[in-house]
Amino acid sequence: MSTNQAVESLLALSQQEDLVDLPKDYPLSASEDEGDSDGERKHQKLLEAISSLGGKNRQKLAERSEASLKVSEFNVSSEGLGEKLVLADLLEPVKTSSSLATVRKHLNRVKSKKTVEVPLNKEEVERIHREVAFNKTSHVLSKWDPIILKNRQAEQLVFPLEKEQPAFAPIEHMLSGWKARSPLEQEIFNLLHKNKQPVTDPLLNPVEKASLKAMSLEEAKMRRAELQRARALQSYYEARTRREKKIKSKKYHRVMKKAKGKQALKEFEQLQKVNPTAALEELEKIEKARMMERMSLKHQNSGKWAKSKAIMAKYDLEARKAMQEQLAKNKELTQRLQVASESEEEEGGTEVEELLVPDAVNEAQMNAEEPNPWMLRSCTSDAKEAGIQEDAEQLPELLDHNVSESEGDERPVAEEEILLKEFEERRSLRKRSKLNQDAESVGSQETKDSISQEVLFELRTLSQKLKENHQSGKQKASSVGTFPQVQREEPVPEEEESLLLQRPERVQTLEELEELEKEECFQNKELPSPILEGHWLKKNPNNQTDAPKKKKKEQMIDLQNLLTTKSPSVKSLAVPTTIEELEDEAETDQKQMIKEAFAGDDVIRDFLKEKREAMEASKPQDVDLTLPGWGEWGGMGLKPSAKKRCQFLIKAPEGPPRKDKNLPNVIISEKRNIHAAAHQVRALPYPFTHHQQFERTIQTPIGSTWNTQRAFQKLTTPKIVTKAGHTIKPIKAEDVGYRSSARSDLSVIQRNPKRLSAHHKKQLKKNSID
Amino acid sequence: MKVKMLSRNPDNYVRETKLDLQRVPRNYDPTLHPFEVPREYVRALNATKLERVFAKPFLASLDGHRDGVNCLAKHPKSLATVLSGACDGEVRIWNLTKQKCIRAIQAHEGFVRGMCTRFCGTSFFTVGDDKTVKQWKMDAPAYGEEEEPLHTILGKTVYTGIDHHWKEAVFATCGQQVDIWDEQRTSPICSMTWGFDSISSVKFNPIETFLLGSCASDRNIVLYDMRQSTPLKKVILDMRTNTICWNPMEAFIFTAANEDYNLYTFDMRALDTPVVVHKDHVSAVLDVDYSPTGKEFVSASFDKSIRIFPVDKSRSREVYHTKRMQHVICVKWTSDSKYIMCGSDEMNIRLWKANASEKLGVLTSREKAAKDYNQKLKEKFRHHPHIKRIARHRHLPKSIYSQIQEQRIMKEARRRKYVLRHLTLSQYSFLTSLISPKTNKKLPFREVVYVLLLYIRDVFEDFSRGLFSPFFSVMGEAMII
């Protein structure tokens, strides 16, 4: 309570003066004092006075922190030392008065600031400094690793390491202090001057320079051949274009033009996929061309030719046709090109369609014999009411028609037709899908991705095919031969369906897919024969029942597997005695196995055989000195006579008896020669891992007696070569291609004797946080 | 009719001029040379023997000092010039070719503690017991001029060592702390300390020139970075390190000469364990210096000998001693990598060949080829027992020899003790059962077990690796001890 009061008094004060300091102790005027609190205080004072008598504490006591100007030094109190003042207490009354809003704000700000952490002690900081510096230095030193490794492994090191550059005096310097004196020298110089031979560097006369600049013969030949080839190719091309230009057939040119256009479109699409930015540029170009077309009067039926044709048009079908063609062309050229984003593909599709289809003005054209896309459309629209099946049947028919018609024409026309047909198909499909969509929510349609569509579509076709197979299989299996006609009929529409559905644009979402499937079912159901429907229905539940069964089976197997695998471990945990038995069994098993494995071996006989062989090998060999052909005929198939052989065969003396002669179970090798052993290496020396390696190094001679001079020199190159009378300096960073530390060591010291780099500070901070 | 006859192309056998060597046709087919290995072996044996015959490393003794030689310094440019400081404060400059002293300066009162030359070779620095650092001109004063230092810096404490930076006008002294000085100033640029004991030596890294290494008498080696003016790392060894030396070809390798008779080669990035411990001395090692090729170093010891160690071997290749040479205090390898100088207690500086049997002077090409060939032969057959024995044979003074024997015995005893202490009970019983399964109780002798262990190790080495690996691990630890 008293604190609150005190705060109030303080605030009263601070309204008069600035709030200089937040006092811990505060003077209370006597008028405000209450009796009991006064007594308490006195008691405390007394206690403090007594404690201050102790000695050291005396100086601590007198701390002045009042917020008043005049304070008698005798009245100084050190009250409330133990209590802690909380900022919130001070702020409480401030809330009420609006005039102190700024103060409050300040205080709040102070409160929100965190106290600065206590800095680390000096030892700790130094330790961190050292650690950082050491890491940095060792990192710097690590750059020497590869060089040191290289030097340690080097076959030969030549010291001093730095190569002294021999000082070459430039020839001008030499020449400047030298004059031709003798008549011969003068003559030579005259000759040189006559040939414009420069005396200074480079010592080349103009002809030599030209020859240096010239190509080599081979290069020149190659280049000539290249040029020849290029010329020939160019002439071929020119001839071809000339030939093409000479063709008078308008149809041909038209077709060519169209083909080109198509090609361009295809390329553009490709480009759109591969490189959108380039495609955009292309698009801009097209746009510009369109603008140009719009500005010009070309194809506007306003030219001289067009006017004449207009007069004729009333009577001449041809002329009318030509005019309309002109107009169509204009329209086509001035049509804004649509960059169909994938979500707007449908719209784009329709637009393009409209773009390509001639204008409705050409109503007259409809009368023409050839099948018109419009006609097709009308056909399909008619057919739509009749049923999709019919439509689908009609299409190929039309197609056939087209093809048969256009057979005489060039290919591009056929292509165009195909394109049109495609659009037709699309349209019909869209209509159908619209029917579906009516039932479905519209929103789902808008989220599409062409890739996913394709994938889905493929999936779908696959599933369909599978289903077909399944069905056919079923059909075969089910020996219901009562309705062969109907069954034969069934797959045909399905096939057609699949063909039609091979348009990735069609199916756009999963929902749609499902919808389509349903539709398919629906269609199937709609098929004329009710029996088939029944069959289908029968089939369906069959399928459904099959699938869960399988699943269940799999689950069962899984469970069993788990049980079988886990059971032994459980057992072993529970009953330890069984393990021992098992181990015993294992041991006996092993013995049995070994017995079986070595059943055929007779170890003792093998040993005896080995010993016999060793004895044979250690016996001294006879020396045969017969020379075939010496003193008699020799050659292929002829052997020296027995007499000769007898004469020249030197029988080896019997060696000393073997040491293991009387030891049947032992083989003592007698290869070891004690006299030689004194000179032989006992253990494999360090760097070698196999005795063969070591032996090989010993067996290759290095002397010039057995090696060519070059090989000898190479084999005896000393590891370290020093030059007499030359000081060898320590290795330098520059010698080995490193940049030495750029700043000189001293300058760094003088600049910042105790400053830390930013990196250091960061690391320090990190460490201190840790 | 065609007559078949032998015909040779005269180009193959006729000399072009009379001065040409006769062409000797040779067939190098190995089947024609069945004894190549034995012949080379004999050649190698002979080469080894000749090497020992011609091993006369001692070249000259430079006398003139009137007290023990305390420090040596090489001239960075001139191979013939050597500087030496003695315990009476005298500095002498020697000409090695003439083997004469060309200049003597009374530089300090008391010891000349340290000495170093400037990288350009124009002046040198000395520190002494009189708490001064003095810079001297390398050239002798002109006639009539007084011998005076260029600069003198009076410090507060005694400096015990000095080393000059390899590229800049900076030098470092050590004593109470490591000070880095600019040549132009009389107060250090910065001083670095870590611990309070006196530092006995400081050395600049010759490659990464901002690095410094120092060793103090509180048994540690401290590395400093001059640029960051901070100590980097400290290693504390069992005993005091007298001095260190950086490898001039490998930036992070240095070798420390320790009081415990050993030298320790460290990779300064991984100071936990030394790369190699070089043992062979039988008393404290006082100084060490690398060969400028960085492949070997020479160490001077209190046992009155100097030894040459290959950097990657723990045993010395060579030991030099003479009857009159006392405790060797300082040693230097000349910068052409051919000679070694050592200064010792008995006031002499001795000059040795780095390769004891090397022939001095210009060699003809045939001599050179023969030398290279012999060298290669010795290398090739160095594992063969006879050659090995001859090549290793050195004469040692009796004191050193007996001490080596004594130390070997001591070491063996320590090892045995360790092994037996660390044998577990199961291992022990297993071993005793191995010796004699029947008389198991009659053989409790641990000694026998130990001998058996050694026997097993030596005889069935590879065969029994797997079986006795636990014992060997114990023995391996013992061997380190």
Contact between chains at B225 and A718 (C-beta distance less than 8 A): no
Of residues A702, A744, A748, nearest to B380 (C-beta):
A702
Which residues on B lie below 8 Å from A138 (Cβ)?
252, 268-269
Statement: residue A716 has pLDDT above 90:
yes
What pLDDT is recorded for position A211?
Answer: 76
A482 SS3 class? coil
Mean pLDDT of A269-289: 86
DSSP letter assigned to residue A285: H
Which residues on A lie below 8 Å from B337 (Cβ)?
159, 722, 728
Statement: residue A730 has pLDDT above 90:
yes
Of residues A704, A730, A741, nearest to B248 (C-beta):
A730
Give the distance from CA A612 to its chain's centroid: 68
Contact between chains at A680 and B385 (C-beta distance less than 8 A): yes
Of residues A130, A722, A741, nearest to B293 (C-beta):
A722
A227's enclosing H/E stretch is helix A217-246
What pLDDT is recorded for position A269?
Answer: 86
Statement: residue B90 has pLDDT above 50:
yes
Contact between chains at B376 and A715 (C-beta distance less than 8 A): yes
Dist. CA B139–CA A453, nearest whole Å = 94
Which residues on A lie below 8 Å from B166 (Cβ)?
730
Contact between chains at B170 and A745 (C-beta distance less than 8 A): yes
Statement: residue B298 has pLDDT above 90:
yes
What pLDDT is recorded for position A583?
Answer: 55
Dist. CA A660–CA A581, nearest whole Å = 47
What pLDDT is recorded for position A96?
Answer: 64
Dist. CA B357–CA A30, nearest whole Å = 108
Q: Which residue of chain A has the CA closest to B461?
A: A683
Query: Would you place residue A545 in the very low, low, confident or very high pLDDT band (cuts 50, 70, 90)?
Result: very low
Of residues B43, B227, B380, nearest to A745 (C-beta):
B227
Statement: residue A482 has pLDDT above 90:
no
Angstroms from B123 CA to nearest CA on chain A: 18
Query: Would you place residue A327 in the very low, low, confident or very high pLDDT band (cuts 50, 70, 90)?
Result: confident
Residue A65 φ/ψ, nearest 5 degrees = -145, 45
Give the distance from CA A320 to its chain's centroid: 62
What digits encode the pLDDT tens for the residues B323-357? Answer: 999 999 999 999 999 999 999 999 999 999 999 99
Q: Which residue of chain B has the CA closest to A743?
A: B227
Of A286, A492, A460, A509, give the one whose Cα is nearest residue A389. A492
Best B168, B196, B232 member to test A by mutation, with max A CBs in 10 Å, is B232
A174's enclosing H/E stretch is helix A171-176
Which residues on A lie below 8 Å from B376 (Cβ)?
702, 715-716
Contact between chains at A730 and B206 (C-beta distance less than 8 A): yes
Of A425, A444, A557, give the one whose Cα is nearest residue A497. A425
What digits encode the pLDDT tens for the residues A60-115? Answer: 545 555 555 555 666 555 555 566 777 677 666 666 666 777 877 887 787 777 77
To the nearest whole number, what is the mean pLDDT of chain B?
88
Kindly tell me the sign of the dihedral angle through the C-alpha atoms of B263, B268, B270, B275: negative
Contact between chains at B36 and A706 (C-beta distance less than 8 A): yes
Statement: residue A154 has pLDDT above 80:
yes
A640 upstream amide cis, omega within 30 of 0 = no
Of residues A138, A707, A748, nearest to B227 (C-beta):
A748
To the nearest whole number, what is the mean pLDDT of chain A?
67
Angle, vertex CA B93, rays to CA B92 and CA B97, nearest 5 = 135
HSE-up of A306 (CA within 13 Å, CB side)?
A: 12
Best B27, B183, B212, B250 member to test A by mutation, with max A CBs in 10 Å, is B250
Which residues on B lie below 8 Å from A136 (Cβ)?
228
Which residues on B lie below 8 Å from A744 (Cβ)?
167-168
Dist. CA A121–CA A101, nearest whole Å = 41
One DSSP character per residue, B318-377 reads EEE--SS---EEEEEE-TTSSEEEEEETTSEEEEEESSTTPPPS---HHHHHHHHHHHHH
Of residues B37, B210, B336, nearest to A728 (C-beta):
B336
Q: Which residue of chain A has the CA closest to B25?
A: A708
Which residues on A lie below 8 Å from B381 (Cβ)?
698
Of A748, A769, A751, give the one whose Cα is nearest residue A136. A748
Statement: residue A14 has pLDDT above 50:
no
Contact between chains at A717 and B372 (C-beta distance less than 8 A): yes
Of B236, B241, B235, give the one whose Cα is nearest residue B258. B241
Of residues A697, A706, A708, nearest to B33 (C-beta):
A706
* Alpha helices, DSSP H, located in A335-372: 345-356
What digits encode the pLDDT tens for the residues B425-447? Answer: 666 666 666 555 555 454 445 66
> Taking the CB of residue A351, how many other CB atoms lie within 10 A of it?
16
DSSP letter assigned to residue B270: B
Interface pTM, i.e. ipTM: 0.86
Best B265, B289, B293, B457 member to test A by mutation, with max A CBs in 10 Å, is B293
Contact between chains at B30 and A698 (C-beta distance less than 8 A): no
Of residues B227, B336, B383, nearest to A727 (C-beta):
B336
Cβ–Cβ under 8 Å, residues B309 and B330: no
Mean pLDDT of A531-555: 44
What digits encode the pLDDT tens for the residues A251-274? Answer: 998 898 899 989 988 988 888 888
Statement: residue A528 has pLDDT above 50:
no
Which residues on B lie below 8 Å from A685 (Cβ)?
383
Inter-residue long-range contacts of A542-545, CB under 8 Å, 24+ positions, other chains counted = A543/A470
Contact between chains at A681 and B385 (C-beta distance less than 8 A): yes
Contact between chains at B36 and A705 (C-beta distance less than 8 A): yes
Residue B48 φ/ψ, nearest 5 degrees = -65, -45
**Token digits for A686?**
């360090």
Contact between chains at B372 and A716 (C-beta distance less than 8 A): yes
Residue A741 vs residue A192, higher pLDDT: A192
Dist. CA A506–CA A434, nearest whole Å = 11
Of B242, B319, B233, give the one whose Cα is nearest residue B282. B319
* Beta strand segments in B160-219, E: 161-164, 170-174, 178-182, 190-192, 199-204, 211-216
Which residues on A lie below 8 Å from B292 (Cβ)?
159, 727-730
Which residues on B lie below 8 Å from A720 (Cβ)?
293, 295
User: Angle, to 10 degrees, between the axis of helix A576-597 and the axis of helix A530-574?
Assistant: 100
Of residues A140, A722, A748, nearest to B208 (C-beta):
A140
Query: Would you place residue A506 in the very low, low, confident or very high pLDDT band (cuts 50, 70, 90)?
Result: very low
Mean pLDDT of B299-306: 95
Of B61, B60, B64, give the one whose Cα is nearest residue B85. B64
Cβ–Cβ under 8 Å, residues B342 and B333: no
Mean pLDDT of B207-224: 93
Dist. CA B365–CA A726, nearest whole Å = 20
Mean pLDDT of A761-765: 48
Q: Give burial (CB, 10 Å; 0-12/13-18/19+) of A748.
A: middle
Q: Which amino acid is at A759?
A: H
Mean pLDDT of A530-540: 43
Angstroms from B249 CA to nearest CA on chain A: 5
* Alpha helices, DSSP H, located in A53-121: 57-61, 87-96, 101-112
What digits encode the pLDDT tens for the residues B390-408? Answer: 999 999 999 999 999 999 9
Angstroms from B385 CA to nearest CA on chain A: 6
Best A690, A694, A727, A763 member to test B by mutation, with max B CBs in 10 Å, is A727
What pLDDT is recorded for position A450?
Answer: 46
Dist. CA A284–CA A601, nearest whole Å = 91
What pLDDT is recorded for position B280?
Answer: 92
Dist. CA B98–CA B383, nearest whole Å = 42
Contact between chains at A722 and B336 (C-beta distance less than 8 A): yes
Query: Would you place residue B302 in the very low, low, confident or very high pLDDT band (cuts 50, 70, 90)?
Result: very high
Statement: residue B134 has pLDDT above 80:
yes
Which residues on A lie below 8 Å from B336 (Cβ)?
722-728
Kindly state the greatest CA–CA separation across chain A: 158
Q: How far from B153 is each of A749, B127, B134, B186, CA to CA, in Å?
A: 21, 9, 6, 6
Contact between chains at A727 and B292 (C-beta distance less than 8 A): yes
What pLDDT is recorded for position A146?
Answer: 92
A330 SS3 class? helix
Of residues B28, B40, B79, nearest to A727 (C-beta):
B79
